[in-house]
Amino acid sequence: MKVIVVSIALTGALAAQVASWSWENVTAPDRLEGFHRFSPGIAGQALRSDGQTTHLIRPAAQAPRLNGAFTIEAWVAIQTYPWTWCALVNQEKDRKRGYSFSIDPNGHFGLHAAVGGQWIESRSEKPLPLYRWNHIAATFDPAEGIRLYWNGAPAGAHAVRGPHEPAAGSDLWIGRNLTPRPLSEEVRLVADVAYSFDGLIDEVRIHDRALTQFAAAQPPAQAPLGPPILPSGPKGPGRFGAYYTRLRYSDEWERPWRVGGQPDIVVRFEGNPTRLVFWRGTSYVPAWVTENGIWYTNEFHESQREGMPTSAEPMADKQARYSTAKIIESTPARVVVQWRYAPISVNYEPVFVDPLTGWGDWVEETYTIYPDGVCVRKIQTFATSPYVVEGQGAGEINFRQFHESIVINPPGTRPEDNIKPGAITLGNMKGEAHTYNWEKEAPGEKANFDAETLRTLHRISDRDTHTHKWLTRPAQGNIHLVNLKAKYSPFVIVDPRQVAIDCYAGEIIRERSMFPWWNHWPVSQQIRSTGRWAVAPDRVSHSSLTHIQSWKPHEERPDGVTMVMLNGLTTGTVTDLLPLAKSWLEAPAAQLKSAGFESQGFDRTEGAYVFARRDNSAAVIELTLQAGAGSPLVNPALVIKNWNAASAKVRVDGKPLATVRTGITHRLDGEDLVVWIPRTVAAPMRVIVSRN
Give the CATH number for residue 185: 2.60.120.200
Q: Please give the tally of structural domains in the chain.
A: 3
Mark whether 247 and 320 lie in a shared domain: yes
Question: What's the confidence (pLDDT) of residue 8?
Answer: 41
Count other C-beta atoms under 10 Å from residue 20's C-beta.
11
397 and 316 housed in the same domain:
yes
| Separation between Cα atoms, residue 225 and residue 238, nearest integer Å | 31
The predicted structure's pLDDT at residue 217 = 67
pLDDT at 666: 95
DSSP state of 396: S
* Half-sphere exposure at residue 505, Cβ-oriented, CA atoms within 13 angstroms: 17
Question: Are 115 and 180 in a shared domain?
Answer: yes
Same domain for 652 and 560: no
Q: What is the DSSP-derived secondary structure letter of residue 128? A: P
Per DSSP, what are the bridge partners of residue 675? Answer: 638, 662
- Phi and psi at residue 163, in whole multiples of 5°? -75, 150
In this prediction, residue 393 carries a pLDDT of 44
CA dist., res. 166 & res. 278, Å (int): 50
The torsion defined by the Cα of 258, 266, 286 and 364, in degrees rounded to 10, comes to: -80
Q: Are 553 and 592 part of one and the same domain? A: no
How many whole angstroms separate alpha carbon 112 and alpha carbon 122? 6
**Do 596 and 564 share a structural domain?**
no
DSSP-derived 3-state class of residue 581: helix
- Burial class of residue 310, CB neighbours in 10 A (0-12, 13-18, 19+): buried
- Of 52, 45, 524, the closest CA to residue 255 belongs to 52
Q: Is residue 284 part of a domain?
A: yes
Assign 3-class secondary structure to 638-682: EEEECCCCCCEEEEECCEECCCCEEEEEEECCEEEEEEECCCEEC
Strand partners, 489: 570
Please indicate, yes or no, whether residues 31 and 174 belong to a single structural domain of this protein.
Answer: yes
Preceding amide of 474 cis, omega within 30: yes
Is the residue at 373 inside a domain?
yes
Claim to verify: residue 40 and residue 130 sit in the same structural domain: yes
Do both 574 and 590 map to the same domain?
no
Give this prediction's pTM. 0.96
Nearest residue to 279 (alpha-carbon basis) of 384, 106, 381, 408 = 408
* Domain-embedded: residue 131: yes
Residue 59 located in a structural domain: yes
**Which residues contact residue 3 at a Cβ distance below 8 angstroms, ignoring those fewer than 6 apart?**
42, 43, 217, 219, 220
**325 and 196 together in one domain:** no
User: What is the SS3 assignment for 162?
Assistant: coil
Q: Is 617 exposed, middle or buried (0-12, 13-18, 19+ CB in 10 A)?
A: exposed
Q: Which of 628, 587, 625, 632 is nearest to 605 (CA)?
A: 587
3-state SS record for 416-454: HHHEEEEEEEEECCCCCEEEECCCCCCCCECCCCCHHHH
Please return the burial class of 461, using the count of CB atoms within 10 Å of its CB with bins 0-12, 13-18 and 19+.
Answer: buried
pLDDT-flagged residues of the chain (< 50)? 1-11, 391-396
> Considering 545, 560, 578, which residue would you say is the last residue of a domain?
578
| Separation of alpha carbons 113 and 121, rounded Å | 7
Inter-residue contact 202 to 47 (CB < 8 Å): yes
φ, ψ of residue 643 in degrees (nearest 5):
-65, -45
Same domain as 252, residue 177: no
Report the first-to-last Cα separation within the chain, whole angstroms.
68
Q: Are 265 and 277 in contact (CB under 8 A)?
A: yes
User: Any bridge partners for residue 689, and if so which?
Assistant: 621, 650
**Quick one: residue 648, left, alpha or beta (phi over 0 = left, psi -120 to 50 = alpha)?**
beta
What backbone torsions phi and psi does residue 493 show, to the nearest 5 degrees? -125, 130
The rounded distance, in Å, linking the Cα atoms of 295 and 408 is: 5
Q: Residue 268 domain-assigned?
A: yes
Domain containing residue 614: CATH number: 2.60.40
Last residue of a domain, one of 578, 603, 630: 578
Report long-range pairs for 350-356 (Cβ below 8 Å, ≥24 apart). Answer: 350/312, 351/303, 351/304, 351/305, 351/308, 351/312, 352/303, 352/305, 352/383, 352/384, 352/385, 353/384, 354/384
| Calpha distance 512→510 (Å, rounded) | 5
Range of the domain at 300: 241-414+509-578
Report the distance separating Cα 38 and Cα 46, nearest Å. Answer: 6
Same-domain pairing of 100 and 172: yes
What residue type is 166 in one-letter code? P
502 assigned to some structural domain: no
Would you say residue 451 lies in a domain?
A: no
Domain boundary residue among 578, 595, 618?
578
Q: CA torsion angle for 470, 473, 476, 477 (degrees, to 10)?
A: -90
Q: Which residues contact 507 (CB under 8 A, 6 or more apart)?
A: 187, 516, 518, 531, 533
- Is the residue at 572 inside a domain? yes
- C-alpha 433/C-alpha 452 separation (Å) is 23
Residue 186: strand, helix, or coil: strand
Q: What is the DSSP letter of 255?
A: T
Distance of CA 578 to the CA centre of its chain: 29
Paired residues of 204 in beta bridges: 21
Tell me how far apart the alpha carbons of residues 83 and 193 are, in angstroms, rounded to a whole number.
8
Compute the chain's Rg from CA coordinates: 30
Amino acid residing at 377? R
Give the C-alpha separation, 109 to 146, whole Å. Answer: 12
